[in-house]
Structure 1
């Protein structure tokens, strides 16, 4: 397979994961301050399957599409106001979360155990960014921000981390078997 074909394939898979994040963002359970969404599951899947570089690029692409006004954020919303509003910290936090999960997996190996560790830590990265931003944007006390933006998401976050790990490793292995994803770290001759 030529270098151009590999590059095209990686761009298509990255864009596909940006779309998957947008679709899973619509799976919501409303709560008073911040809804529970499928976005964090999708972020974990993207990073677990694609690794640091392409997982992070898929998240950035998702954020660009959403901030341009396409309704891909939770509850079919979009626009730059979502990035700077009270829940914008969670969205922005997806970038370091995806990078960390992918980086950890690349360094430690793509196993379910490593994926679970990476996704749990990633969950706390997202929650930390989101809670800090929520405190500032909504002018809340730390107690109110933690109560409304952190604590209610721990149990659900652990469940999503486990699902992202198990499903992510299974899908990654199948994509590698189908030659749609490379198991080795990218080098000069490989784009993906």
Structure 2
């Protein structure tokens, strides 16, 4: 069998995480131009559990569906204008985030085992740092916001405590899933 082809199991996991990403955006706390959702947690889990390749496919399917008008973005929004709107940088950053998380988890694992702190580190680097480095400049540029401490604290730092909590919870969930479903363990 060709290693580049996806199995039915792979496609099922990809579809599951696409659906989880859609559902996790339906519950939001609107606090300015970017709402608080559980989507960063799902992105972190996609990177940890699916790895880079399957994770990217899952996120790409989500973005394609959202751009086509499916009401799967935060609060039930959809359409190309929403995908490339103020929060578009965050949405597109998820593609790189799952790659970084998947790569780091695989590199830091040893015989399918990885410590909790290493998963947390992968989530912080890929799921927070990468996302913020792409999403925040996009938001500031799109909305023509001044780059001052008020903007940084109100549009970036306000999300940090929740995102760190999501990184920790995601790592705990990932380790539990590795124990329950050994096929999802990271292998070098």
- Scaled by the length of structure 2, what TM-score is found? 0.89
Provide the rounded CA distance (Å) in 2 between the counterparts of 1:157 and 1:21: 15
| Structure 1: unaligned runs, 5 residues or longer | 186-192
Counterparts of 2:12 and 2:107, CA distance in 1: 25
Q: How far is 1:173 from its partner?
A: 2.7
Distance 1:183 1:125 in 2: 21
Counterpart for residue 23 of structure 2: 23
* Residue 133 of structure 1 pairs with residue 153 of structure 2: no
**RMSD between aligned residues:** 2.0
Give the aligned partner of residue 187 of structure 2. 184
Alpha-carbon contact 2:24-2:42 (below 8 Å) kept: yes
Shift of 1:182: 6.0
1:145 to partner: Cα distance = 3.9
Cα contact 1:28–1:75 (8 A) shared by 2: yes
Q: Is the CA contact (8 Å cut-off) linking 2:32 and 2:155 kept in structure 1?
A: no
Instruction: Tell me, in whole angstroms, the C-alpha distance in 2 between the residues paired with 1:56 and 1:173.
Output: 23
Query: Aligned runs of 1:117-128 on 2, under 5 Å?
Result: 117-122=121-126, 123-128=128-133
TM-score (norm 1): 0.87
Runs (5+) with no aligned partner, structure 2:
none
Moved over 4 A (4+): 2-6
TM-fit CA distance, 1:183:
5.0
Check 1:151–1:182 CA distance in 2 against 1; reply closer, same or farther (3 A cut): closer
Q: Equivalents in 2 of 1:118, 1:182: separation in Å? A: 15
**Gap change, CA 1:169 and 1:3, over 3 Å in 2:** farther
Look up the match of 2:115.
111
Q: For residues 10 and 138 of structure 2, what CA distance do their matches in structure 1 show?
A: 33
How far has the Cα of 1:53 moved from its partner?
A: 1.2
C-alpha displacement of 1:33:
1.9
1:1-54 C-alpha deviation (Å, 9 max, x unpaired): x87997111111111111111111112111022111110011011111111111
